[in-house]
Amino acid sequence: MSDPRDILRTKAAELGFDVCRFASASAPWSAGERLAHFVEAGRHGEMGWMETTLERRAHPTAMWDGARTAIVLGMTYGPTGDPLPEMADASAGYISVYARGDDYHEVIKGRLKTLAGQLASRLDAEVKVFVDTAPLMEKPLAQRAGLGWQGKHTNLLSREHGNWLFLGVILTAAEIEADTEETEHCGSCTACLDACPTNAFPAPFQLDARRCLSYLTIEHAGPWPVEFRAAAGSRIYGCDDCLAVCPWNKFAEAAQEARLTARAALVSPRLADLAALDDTAFRALFSKSPIKRIGRDRFVRNVLYAIGNSGDDALIESAEALLDDRSPLVRGAAVWALSRLMDEPAFAGLREARLTGERDSDVRAEWSLLPLREKVAAEG
Catalytic residue positions, numbered: 132
What is the distance between the alpha carbons of residues 15 and 10, in angstroms, rounded to a whole number? 9
Name the CA radius of gyration of the chain, rounded: 23
DSSP at 100: S
Amino acid at 36: A
What is the distance between the alpha carbons of residues 87 and 71, in angstroms, rounded to a whole number? 37
| Ramachandran bin of 376, using left for φ above 0, alpha for ψ from -120 to 50, beta for the remaining angles | alpha
User: Which contacts qualify for 127-130: CB closer than 8 Å, 24 or more apart?
Assistant: 127/170, 127/171, 127/172, 127/173, 128/64, 128/67, 128/170, 128/171, 128/172, 129/168, 129/169, 129/170, 130/168, 130/169, 130/170, 130/171
Amino acid at 201: F
Q: Which of 99, 130, 139, 364 is nearest to 255 (CA)?
A: 99
